[in-house]
């Protein structure tokens, strides 16, 4: 019997797009018409480059692999990895490799991807300079960072990242994870210039800076030189930055060298020219991914590359699939240290007649823009910074009629598009071209959780931004959705609290090793940090806990928009002595601070430089003050009126009660901030019913109200117990707070916590008043432990030289103040120079007393 003859396909490149092509062709080639040879320059199997930065956090190479086990066992697929193709003979239809291998083909697909662009500056090849592209690159960077941490004193370990785009910000985050303080240098006037506009870029810069990453935009790198065992990066404005490593992440260039070498035409800006079928003028050669130029344009995102791979797989089997550049989804989403950024569709309003609707809330730290058609009926695109929760529901609507007023779609508390109203053709996963109809069919077919949906549709397996929408669709189809905190823990926050408390776990690494996977993320790390603090695991800067904190907790102060910090000493119940006021005034004067009375009856000292914080605390702690925890997810204030001490209407001593409550619950870490108030009579001067827990005096005792808050959606607290004595009041508040700390979700305030509780306020009353669950003794004991173990966090830093080392503006110049923090004199007080161009700028502040 004559042996069957198969066509020979050679795929040059084993990256994400090359892998997708091979998988797609094998899925469709049921007759086995093609035998495939994959030639890859990297010795590694195909891995997820989108999740490259997670490798720094501890994700293993095996976890990053793209699941090629089936293909590697396929008799029609042969892999030769670690052997780069060096030439193509198009006449003979043959490729040759660095190892001397020759492989003949009937069809050749170039999936060579791209290479990092490194600016042609002197010193770019010095030891210590790296690109951020492959796992090998990251291995080298990790080793260099480890060496730097070993040899460089704390406060001086730094990295310069050249490039402020998607990958540049990922690289900066990785540098911070490795123990280096990163500075991002971006030649464009804003971060992520290809994805966000000026408004979004301004907020993004502020949010990134708040995460401890210095940013310089509108500046280029002009050279790198060695200085002993470190590097010095010179910038176009003359500034020189010391660095342990310099990481180039300034963009990519199409890896089209093979095409050029064999005479295939390339685009004006690089890339192998292909038609709508991804075919070159040589009918036997195709190109996909970042190395291909469709209508002269290259695409640096994985979604267009995957679309090209699907088209070529279809064409190789005789299908009519085509690429339509106008239909390519260029949506992107990034979460960097908790900062959400997303853009989709025509984000820059390049469509003729397009209108832009912007909701910019600098207080909340959010920027939202929708681009709509000239009649405001069709969504064309958008930008989301600070909060991208609606990305999953808005992106599939691009090109479709708007379901509501566009302003409400991006306003806090406004209508959110209902996944059920989306057409079946709406693309939920742009990376893998999965529609709502595909997902609903999979759910009907038995895919009843997110992993099952991923397995049968590939949705959510690339960038992961569509996973929230997968959960929404499951819920709307009547399927119960997982309450997992994040991809590293299958448990909810409440379950993790019980695990940590029950097992006596005292570190994040121990928790993730025993009950999670990977090395954690910006969602679970702060949550676990809060749980550990709630259970009294020492100072939040002790050992491993220090690396889990966000920026405010990192410096025990609130970061302000100009890069300075505010200091808020605790003034329990708003009660303060004349001597205390004098000390606060002297500190404000000596350090040039702006003073403001807060709504919670405290004094906010604004404009402190990070290196001055310990000196300020020394003065305040010496006068008997302590941290007011204005920076933490914990009790902020207990506001009070003057009560029976002074007011002729007062019926109880509200000041004494407020002081007692604030001192009892100070430092109690919780899922969100907590505020309270105590009013001495029904006139409610302390506004107790707008607080998480509020107390109002009666002739018979006290009324306790819970679940109130201000903010975007103000809520009045509801009456929990009435006319109770002081001991019963405090015991009930103890249980309320500890039950909240144990069971609330991440970043959930008390009002939505009670609203989400089955049975609501009645159930809460049954649990903490009637002890329906039999846990009140545990709650009482937990609060007692908190009260007994409390210690001031400021004093804890001042007593520990190792903790003091973190309080510097520049790790490479610990004694130098940040020149970007500038003030002007306004009404005898210093205020930020931003927005006050006509006032004389004060670069420094008055001399302070020695530390």
pLDDT recorded at residue 818: 63
Give domain 650-791's CATH number out of 3.30.413.10, 3.20.20.70, 3.40.50.300, 1.10.3720.10.
3.30.413.10
Superfamily of structural domain 7-115+254-324:
FAD/NAD(P)-binding domain (3.50.50.60)
| Cβ atoms within 10 Å, residue 700 | 12
Residue showing tokens 């070993």: 150
pLDDT at 713: 66
63-to-47, 49, 55, 126, 461 alpha-carbon distances in Å: 9, 12, 9, 32, 12
**Which stretch of 190-204, 409-423, 663-677, 778-792 has the lowest confidence by average pLDDT?**
409-423
| Cα 451 from Cα 455, distance rounded (Å) | 6
Instruction: Please report the pLDDT score of residue 74 as a whole number.
Output: 92
The predicted pLDDT at position 559 comes to 80
With 60 as the cut, is the pLDDT of residue 843 above it? no
State the Rg of the chain over Cα.
30
- CA-CA distances (angstroms) from residue 5 to 39, 226, 270? 22, 60, 37
Q: For residue 389, which of 360, 417, 347 has the smallest C-alpha distance?
A: 417
**Residues 325 and 341: beta-carbon distance below 8 Å:** no
Per-residue b or e along 130-148, where b marks 16 or more CB atoms closer than 10 Å to that residue's CB: bbbbbeebbeebeebbeeb
832/826 Cα distance (integer angstroms)? 9
| Residue 56 and residue 142 in contact, taking contact as beta carbons nearer than 8 Å | yes
Is residue 794's pLDDT more than 90? Answer: yes
Query: What is the DSSP track for 457-504?
Result: H-TTSSS-TTHHHHHHHHHHTTPPPP--SBTTBSS-HHHHHHHHHHHT
In sequence order, which residues have a C-beta less than 8 Å from that of residue 192 and are 6 or more positions away?
164, 165, 166, 169, 201, 204, 334, 341
Longest dimension (CA), the chain: 110
Q: What is the mean pLDDT of residues 672-690?
A: 92
For 32, left (φ over 0), alpha (ψ -120 to 50), or beta? Answer: left
DSSP string, 222-278: EEEEEETTEEEEEETTS-EEEESEEEE-S-EEE--HHHHHTT--B-TTSSEEE-TTS
Question: Does the structure show a pLDDT above 90 at 721?
Answer: yes
HEC string of 146-202 equals: HHHHHHCCCCCCEEEEECCCHHHHHHHHHHHHCCCEEEEEECCCCCCCCCCCHHHHH
Lowest mean pLDDT, pick from 340-349, 365-374, 506-515, 554-563: 554-563
Per-residue model confidence (pLDDT) at position 851: 31
- Does residue 146 carry a pLDDT above 80? yes
Predicted confidence at residue 544, as pLDDT, reads 80
d(CA 139, CA 161): 17
Q: Helix, strand or coil for residue 104?
A: strand
What are the sequence ranges of the domains in the chain?
A: 7-115+254-324, 129-250, 343-417, 419-482, 493-549, 650-791
Report the top-level CATH class of 129-250.
alpha beta
Does the global pTM surpass 0.75?
no
- DSSP, collapsed to helix, strand or coil, labels residue 556 as coil
Enumerate the β-bridge partners of residue 90: none
**What backbone phi and psi angles, to 5 degrees, belong to 723?**
55, 45
- Cβ neighbours for 610, distance < 8 A, ≥ 6 positions apart: 555, 557, 564, 565, 807, 808, 809, 818
Helix (H) or strand (E) holding 310: helix 302-316
pLDDT, tens only, 470-522:
777 877 777 766 678 887 898 888 889 989 988 889 889 899 999 998 888 87
Residue 840 confidence (pLDDT): 46
Number of H helices, E strands in the chain: 27, 39
CA angle 670, 633, 183 (to 5 degrees): 135
Across the range 445-462, mean pLDDT stands at 78
Cα–Cα distance measured from residue 764 to residue 735, given in angstroms and rounded to the nearest whole number: 10
Query: Taking residues 295-321, what's their average pLDDT?
Result: 91
**CA 496, CA 150: separation in Å to the nearest integer?**
34
Confidence of residue 212 (pLDDT cuts 50, 70, 90): confident
CATH code of the domain made up of 419-482: 1.10.10.1100
What is the distance of C-alpha 617 from the center of its chain? 30
**pLDDT value of residue 3:** 57
Read off the pLDDT of residues 425-444 as tens digits, 9 standing for 90 and up. Answer: 777 776 777 888 888 888 88
Return the ∠ at Cα 106 (arms to 105 and 110), rounded to 5°.
65
**Cα separation of 584 and 622, whole Å?**
11
What pLDDT was estimated at residue 502? 85
Most confidently modeled of 159-163, 339-343, 417-421? 159-163
Average pLDDT over residues 582-600: 91
Whether residue 751 is predicted with pLDDT greater than 50 in this model: the reply is: yes
Question: CA distances (Å), 93 to each of 104, 189, 380, 566, 763, in order?
Answer: 6, 47, 44, 69, 75
Instruction: Dihedral sign for Cα 243, 245, 250, 253, please.
Output: positive
- 793-813: b or e for each residue (b if 16 or more CB lie within 10 Å)? bbbbbbeeeebbebbbbbbbe
- At residue 414, the pLDDT reads 66
Q: Pick from 268, 117, 244: which is nearest to 187 by CA? A: 117
69 pLDDT tier (thresholds 50, 70, 90): confident
Q: Which of 253, 222, 247, 243 is nearest to 121 (CA)?
A: 222
- Scan for tokens 């609903």, then name that residue: 440
Which of 78, 111, 123 minimizes the C-alpha distance to 225? Answer: 123
Do 7-115+254-324 and 419-482 come out as alike in CATH topology?
Answer: no
Question: Is the pLDDT assigned to residue 337 strictly greater than 60?
Answer: no
What mean pLDDT do residues 275-296 have? 94
Rounded to the nearest integer, the mean pLDDT of the chain is 86
Confidence of residue 827 (pLDDT cuts 50, 70, 90): low
Whether pLDDT at 845 is above 70: no
Q: Over range 17-34, report the average pLDDT.
A: 94
The dihedral of CA 450, 451, 456, 461: what is its sign?
positive
Burial of 547 (0-12, 13-18, 19+ CB in 10 A): middle
- Cα separation, 196 vs 501, in Å, equals 43
353: region left, alpha or beta (phi > 0 left; psi from -120 to 50 alpha): left
Cα–Cα distance for residue pair 417/404, rounded to 1 Å: 8
Q: Is 520 helix (H, G, I), strand (E, B) or coil?
A: coil
Contact in structure between 328 and 349 (CB atoms under 8 Å):
no
The residue with greater pLDDT, 354 or 451, is 354
């Amino acid at each position: 019997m004559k042996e069957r003859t198969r066509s020979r396909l050679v795929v040059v490149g084993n990256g994400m797009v090359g892998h997708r092509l091979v998988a797609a062709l094998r899925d469709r080639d049921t007759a086995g018409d093609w035998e495939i040879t994959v030639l890859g320059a990297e010795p590694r199997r195909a891995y997820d480059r989108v999740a490259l930065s997670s490798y720094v956090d501890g994700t293993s190479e095996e976890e990053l692999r793209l699941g090629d086990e089936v293909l590697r066992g396929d008799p029609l697929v042969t892999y030769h990895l670690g052997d780069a193709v060096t030439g193509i003979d198009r006449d003979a239809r043959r490729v040759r490799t660095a190892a001397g291998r020759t492989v003949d083909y009937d069809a050749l697909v170039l999936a060579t991807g791209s290479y990092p662009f490194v600016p042609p500056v002197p010193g770019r090849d010095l030891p210590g300079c790296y690109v951020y592209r492959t796992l090998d690159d990251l291995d080298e960077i990790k080793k260099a960072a480890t060496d730097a941490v070993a040899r460089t004193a704390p406060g001086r370990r730094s990295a310069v990242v050249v490039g402020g785009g998607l990958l540049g910000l990922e690289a900066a985050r990785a540098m911070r994870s490795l123990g280096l303080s990163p500075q991002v240098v971006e030649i464009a006037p804003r971060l992520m210039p290809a994805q966000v506009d000026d408004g979004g870029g301004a907020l993004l810069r502020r949010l990134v800076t708040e995460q401890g990453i210095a940013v310089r935009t509108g500046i280029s790198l002009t050279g790198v030189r060695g200085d002993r065992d470190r590097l010095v990066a010179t910038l176009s404005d003359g500034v020189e930055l010391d660095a342990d490593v310099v990481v180039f992440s300034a963009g990519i260039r199409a890896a089209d060298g093979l095409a050029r070498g064999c005479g295939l035409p390339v685009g004006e800006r690089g890339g192998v020219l292909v038609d709508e079928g991804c075919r070159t003028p040589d009918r036997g050669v195709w190109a996909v991914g970042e190395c291909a130029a469709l209508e002269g344009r290259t695409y640096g995102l994985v979604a267009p590359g995957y679309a090209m791979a699907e088209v070529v797989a279809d064409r190789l089997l005789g299908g009519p699939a085509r690429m339509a550049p106008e239909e390519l989804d260029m949506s992107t989403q990034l979460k960097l240290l908790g900062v959400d950024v997303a853009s989709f569709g025509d984000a820059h309003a390049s469509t003729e007649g397009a209108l832009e609707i912007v909701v910019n809330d600098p207080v909340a730290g959010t920027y939202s823009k929708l681009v709509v058609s000239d009649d405001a009926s069709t969504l064309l695109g958008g930008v989301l910074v600070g909060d991208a929760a609606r990305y999953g529901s808005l992106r599939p609507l691009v090109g479709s009629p708007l379901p509501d007023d566009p302003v409400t779609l991006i306003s806090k508390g406004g209508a959110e598009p209902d996944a059920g109203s989306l057409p079946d053709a709406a693309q939920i996963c742009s990376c893998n071209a999965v529609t709502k109809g595909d997902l609903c069919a999979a759910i009907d077919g038995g895919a009843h959780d997110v992993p099952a949906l991923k397995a049968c549709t590939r949705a959510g397996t690339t960038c992961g931004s569509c996973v929230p929408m997968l959960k929404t669709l499951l819920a709307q189809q009547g399927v119960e959705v997982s309450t997992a905190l994040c991809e590293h823990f299958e448990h909810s926050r409440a379950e993790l609290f019980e695990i940590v408390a029950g097992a006596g776990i005292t570190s994040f690494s121990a928790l993730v090793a025993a009950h999670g996977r990977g090395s954690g993320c910006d969602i679970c790390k702060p949550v676990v940090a809060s749980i550990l603090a709630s259970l009294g695991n020492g100072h939040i800067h002790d050992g491993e806990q220090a690396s889990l904190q966000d920026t405010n907790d990192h410096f025990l102060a609130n970061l302000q928009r100009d890069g300075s910090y505010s200091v808020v000493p605790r003034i329990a119940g708003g009660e303060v002595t004349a001597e205390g006021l004098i000390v606060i005034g002297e500190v404000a004067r000596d350090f040039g601070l702006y003073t403001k009375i807060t709504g919670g009856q405290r004094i906010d000292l604004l404009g402190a430089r990070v290196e001055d914080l310990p000196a300020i605390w020394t003065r305040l702690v010496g006068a008997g003050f302590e941290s007011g925890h204005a920076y933490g997810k914990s009790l902020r204030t207990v506001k009070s009126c003057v009560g029976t001490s002074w007011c002729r209407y007062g019926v109880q001593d509200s000041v004494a009660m407020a002081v007692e409550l604030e001192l009892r619950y100070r430092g109690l870490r919780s899922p969100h901030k907590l505020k309270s108030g105590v009013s001495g009579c029904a006139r409610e001067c302390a506004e107790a019913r707008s607080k998480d827990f509020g107390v109002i005096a009666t002739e018979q005792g006290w009324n306790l109200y819970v679940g109130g808050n201000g903010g975007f959606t103000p809520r009045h607290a509801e009456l929990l117990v009435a006319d109770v004595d002081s001991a019963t009041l405090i015991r009930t508040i103890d249980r309320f707070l500890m039950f909240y700390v144990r069971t609330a979700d991440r970043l959930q305030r008390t009002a939505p916590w009670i609203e989400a509780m089955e049975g609501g306020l009645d159930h809460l009353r049954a649990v903490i008043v009637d002890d329906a669950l039999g846990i009140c003794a545990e709650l009482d004991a937990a609060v007692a432990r908190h009260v007994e173990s409390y210690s001031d966090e400021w004093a804890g830093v001042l007593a520990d030289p190792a903790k003091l080392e973190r309080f510097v503006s520049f790790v490479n110049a610990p004694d130098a103040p940040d020149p970007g923090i500038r003030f002007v004199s306004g009404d005898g007080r210093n205020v930020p120079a931003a927005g006050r161009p006509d006032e004389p700028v004060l670069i420094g502040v008055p001399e302070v007393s020695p530390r």
